[in-house]
Structure 1
Amino acid sequence: MNILILGAGQVGASLAEALVSEANDITLVDLDAGALAQLADRLDVRTVTGNAAFPSVLAEAGVETADLIVAVTQSDQSNLVACKLAHSRFAVPTRIARLRSPDFLDPTLLSTDNFAVDFALCPEQEISDYIGKLVEYPEALQVVEFAEGRLTMVGLRAYEGGLLVGKPIRAMRGHLPSGVDARIAAIFRDTRAINIDGDTVVHAGDEVFLLAATEHIRTVLKELRRMQKPVRKVMIAGAGNVGARVAGRLEGSCEVKLVESRPARAALVAGWLNRTLVLTGEATDETLLAREEIGSMDMFLALTNDDENNIMAASLAKRLGCRRVLALINREAYADMVQGGPIDIGLSPAQVSIGGLLTHVRQADVARVHSLRRGAAEALELVVRGERGSSRVVGRRIEELPEIHGASIAAVVRGGRVIIPHHDTLIEAGDHVVVFCTRKRYIAAVEKLFLPTASLLPGWFR
């Protein structure tokens, strides 16, 4: 696929990195020649320096032959203009835009007759929703949903003394109540995925991805981690777009304190919120945190636009007794470095946002994509199309499918019903199948497996 990415910031760079290894031709456009040069040194991509909203720049980037344009510059206006030009002047089949302002998230404005945006991504909203889930499941490192919320996958750290630690995976079923089923989709040990089966023993410290029907996930979580108290008191550092949205989401169920260093912004956000206490000050001020009783907080969320401030504020909050802390960190190297130390969760905004983009880029019929472990792994929800004569999966048991090393079918959703599959589970047309890929390089083979084909090639099945 020929893909044109406009904007070489965190989201554009992360998207290019995710797609360049999948036999795609990627061209990046940005005003920052230095940022493009760094990406060109690291990735097999073509780069063009210029304003992505200019027709001449788009033409130089090869927009005439593009299958897809992804406009993720820092400017909503530039993204909208680029999509409009891509449609009306260059006939690009699919157009995606990142839009920060809610004023632009109007289906009429984005229709083909206007700005011609097929899919609009609002990163701040996606990040706010994601953080809301982490507050809802405070024991989790990641929480993602599939099948319109019917299925939940939780990534968490197995702890010493947990019911399953030191025992084989198959022992989990013996602890679950009747009618409750779950699947351990993957285990990462010392940052590496390990091959698992029913006899695999869970170790303390393992990063485990657990999947179950959403109504059962709380019950299942007790298997691997001591359930923490529900989050009732939250302090947020930063009243920017993300911090203000998260405060608005949480203030109905939690006692929320929001710390903002800019007096004018603090006053503005205080007028938007109903039950949040907005404070003017620095979240790295130990005196302020102590005065506001940070030690009694269930969760501290460092959501400013400054990575270093977020790391410092979260580390300080943890030292002063806050039960769990999260830091929003744009630089992936920082996120990898700090998580697991004093900071419980280092969250990369780009990796949260990228799932929505990848959903519209994958070649198979993909309903949802979630980037996991800061891009190292992916979980895909694929819709099964075709019939036995034109599909490699329809009408076949899981044990009959060709083995793709590093990829496994973790769940099937059929007619709204969640099925935790076994080797003899039959795949049917219309099923939503969740596939966990422990490495990105396996994704192309998974897509090929689920794509309908006019005639099956010999050797696909044993």
Structure 2
Amino acid sequence: MKIIILGAGRVGFSVAESLVSERNDITVIDQDAQRLRELESRFDLRGVVGSGIDPQVLAEAGAADTDLLIACAALDETNLVCCKLGQLLFNIPTRIARVRSSGLTDDEAVLGKDGLGVDAIICPEASLTRYIGKLTEYPEALQVRAFAGGRACLASVRARPGAPAVGLRIGELRTHNPEMGLRIVAIYRRFADEPDRFVRCDGGTRIEPGDEVFVLSARETLPGILAALHRPEGQPARPVRRVLIAGGGRVAMRLAELLAEQPGRFHIKIVEVDAKRCMELASALPEDVLVLQGDATDENLLDDEGIEDVDLFLALTNDDENNIMACLQAKRMGAARVLALINRRSYADLMHGTQIDIALSPAQAMLGELLAHVRRGDVQAVHSLRRGVAEALEIVARGDRKSSRVVGRRVDELRLPPEVNIGLIVRGLPVPGENGEPAESPAAEPEVIIPRSHTVIESNDHVVFFLPNKRLVQDVEKLFRVSATFF
């Protein structure tokens, strides 16, 4: 696929890195020549110096035969104008814009073909807010990703000594807890003086303390599964109630607004250094959100605010070093869980396995939304995992036994690479109509199926895969491709 990326900042860099690894033809436009030279020296792509709203620059970048335009420059206006030029002058089939303004996200009349010419909006801040919001629902999880409209979830959790499922083989776990309905799709195991190593999962694989376990299940059964892997037997659940946020930027404000939509559930405090920003936050947020002026790395301030009682500490400033130090300080002083927002990928890698529970990259949080537009076939959702190395993919089976390599066939008949793990199947979701409108909903509720070797895939099944390496994506897409005739 031929792709133009406008903007070589943090988001553009992460997008280019991910898409180049999939053998796409990438061109990046930016006005900073030094930034482009750095990109060209690291990745197999082409840089064009100039403005993305200059038709001559777009033409030089090859817009005339481009398949996808991703506009992720710093300014919303630049991204929107670039998409409109891509539509009017070059007829680029798919145009995606990064937009920070929340007022445009749902306005089809403004964004559509007759408006700004944008096919999809991405907002890293909104993606981060949704991501962190899921962690407040599932406090044992390191990350939670939704599939099939939220009916199924992929979560990763750190196995702890004393938890009921830790020490069991996967086959024993399924035998002893048949009501759980889960599929463990991957385990990453810690080893001394080397990175975590991927462990292939089968019935004989034992879950060991310290393992990072990736599990797929229906949404309703996920809390019990996470507890069985993470919470020692007899220990009561500790839901997230008290939240302390370091930094008062866009993400912090969005998150406070999201959590405040459930009155009385959360006690939220925001610590911000800048006095003017504190006034802005205090006037914009609900009155039960407490805004404090101060430095979140200050030990005395954390002690005064009862850091030992905080269920979730979030360092969301724009400074990676401050976020790391604030989290380490908060964890040392008794915060139950800490999350650091890390922009530099090298820093995020270093944080893995430290006292910081979660190191989160803004670009990685929204990357899956972009990848869903790049994937071929009927891909519904993509989630980038393990800092972009692994991937979870939801793809719909279409056609019939004559036109499809998967429909009407048992799971053990599918010609999948051995590393690819079919996690679950969601059956009975509405089939889109001809004009993109949902068809009449089926009489029965959609069913979440944990597939076995004898499970037969049906047309319109939503199949969720875990791929430990992104190079396997093309094999899965090819398998699900519908042909006019198939022999």
| TM-score normalised by L of structure 1 | 0.96
Which of 215, 220, 226 is 1:215 aligned to? Answer: 220
Runs of 4+ residues over 3 Å off in structure 1: none
Deviation digits for residues 278-321 of structure 1 (CA, Å, limit 9, x no counterpart):
01111112221111111211111001111111111111111111
Q: Name the CA distance, whole Å, in 1 between partners of 2:99 and 2:151.
A: 28
Separation of aligned partners in 2, 1:361 and 1:384:
18
Structure 2 SS opposite 1:428? coil
Give 2:116's aligned residue.
Answer: 115
Q: 2:278: which partner in 1?
A: 266
Q: Are the counterparts in 2 of residues 30 and 50 from structure 1 also a CA contact under 8 Å? A: yes
Q: For the residues of structure 2 that align with 1:365 and 1:38, how far apart are their CA atoms?
A: 35
How much does 1:174 deviate? 3.3
- Partner Cα separation in structure 2 for residue 188 and residue 338 of structure 1: 16
Q: Unaligned stretches of 5+ in structure 2?
A: 191-195, 429-445
How far, CA to CA, are the matches of 1:135 and 1:377 in structure 2?
Answer: 24
Counterparts of 1:195-234 in structure 2 under 5 Å?
Answer: 195-226=200-231, 228-234=237-243
The corresponding residue for 2:484 is 454
Query: May I ask how many residue pairs the two structures share in their alignment?
Result: 456
Q: Which amino acid aligns with 1:267?
A: M
The equivalent of 2:319 in structure 1 is: 306
Q: Is the 8 A contact 1:258 1:278 kept in 2?
A: yes
Q: Partners in 2 of 1:215 and 1:167 — Cα distance?
A: 23
Question: In the aligned structure 2, how far is the partner of 1:46 from the partner of 1:193?
Answer: 33
- Residue 305 of structure 2 corresponds to 292
Mean Cα deviation higher: 326-335 or 168-177: 168-177
Match of 1:165 in 2: 166
TM-aligned CA deviation for residue 135 of structure 1: 1.8
Distance in 2, Cα, partners of 1:130 & 1:141: 10
> What residue number does 1:244 align with?
253
Q: Could you say what the CA RMSD is over the residues aligned between the two structures, in angstroms?
A: 1.4
2:138 is equivalent to residue 133 of structure 1 = no
Alpha-carbon offset, residue 177 of structure 1: 5.9
Identify the residue that residue 79 of structure 1 maps to in structure 2.
Answer: 79
2:467 corresponds to? 437
Task: Check conservation: 1:172, 1:223, Cα contact below 8 A.
Answer: no
Secondary structure of 1:368's aligned partner: strand
Which among 347, 352, 358 is matched to residue 334 of structure 1? 347
Which of 401, 405, 417 is 1:404 aligned to? 417
Q: Please give the secondary structure, in 1, of the residue aligned with 2:26.
A: strand
Matches of 2:197 and 2:39 in 1, distance apart?
26
8 Å Cα contact 2:141/2:226 also seen in 1: no
One-letter amino acid of the counterpart of residue 117, structure 1: V
What do the CA deviations read for 1:107-140 (whole angstroms, capped 9, x no partner)?
Answer: 2210111111001112111110100111221211
| 1:249 Cα deviation after fit | 1.6
**Percentage identity across aligned positions?**
52
1:45 aligned residue: 45
1:134-176 deviation digits (Å, cap 9, x = unpaired): 1221211111110001001110111122222222101112342
**Secondary structure of the corresponding residue to residue 223 of structure 1:** helix
1:235 and 2:244 matched: yes
Q: Does the CA-based 8 Å contact 1:139-1:228 persist in structure 2?
A: no
Segments of structure 1 that go 5 or more residues without pairing to the other structure are 458-462
Residues 11-20 or 58-67, more deviating: 11-20
* 8 A Cα contact 2:416 2:476, kept in partner: no
Q: The residue matched to 1:152 in structure 2 has which SS?
A: strand
Cα distance in 1 for residues equivalent to 2:144 and 2:388: 15
1:428 maps onto 2:458 in alignment: yes
Q: Tell me the CA shift for residue 408 of structure 1.
A: 1.5
* Residue 277 (structure 1) aligns with: 290
How far did residue 99 of structure 1 move?
A: 0.4
CA distance in 2, matches of 1:38, 1:241: 29
In the alignment, the residues of structure 2 paired with residue 297 and residue 222 of structure 1 have an alpha-carbon distance, to the nearest angstrom, of 20
Tell me how far 1:19 sits from its aligned partner.
1.8
Q: Which residue of 2 aligns with 1:70?
A: 70
Rounded Cα–Cα distance in structure 1 between residues aligned with 2:12 and 2:400: 37
How far did residue 60 of structure 1 move? Answer: 0.8
Tell me which amino acid in the other structure corresponds to 2:203: G
| Cα distance in structure 2, aligned partners of 1:58 and 1:280 | 45
Matched, 1:383 2:376: no
Structure 2 residue 320 is the aligned partner of structure 1 residue 320:
no
- Per-residue CA deviation, residues 68-106 of structure 1 (Å, 9 max, x unaligned), is 111111111010001000001110011111100123332
Q: Distance in 2 between matches of 1:10 and 1:369?
A: 20
Aligned to 1:460: none
- Deviations 1:391-432, CA, capped at 9 Å, x for gaps: 111111110011313211111000121000011111111010
Q: Residue 29 of structure 1 contacts residue 50 of structure 1 at CA under 8 Å; is this kept in 2?
A: yes
Helix, strand or coil: the match of 1:222?
helix
The residue type paired with residue 453 of structure 1 is: S
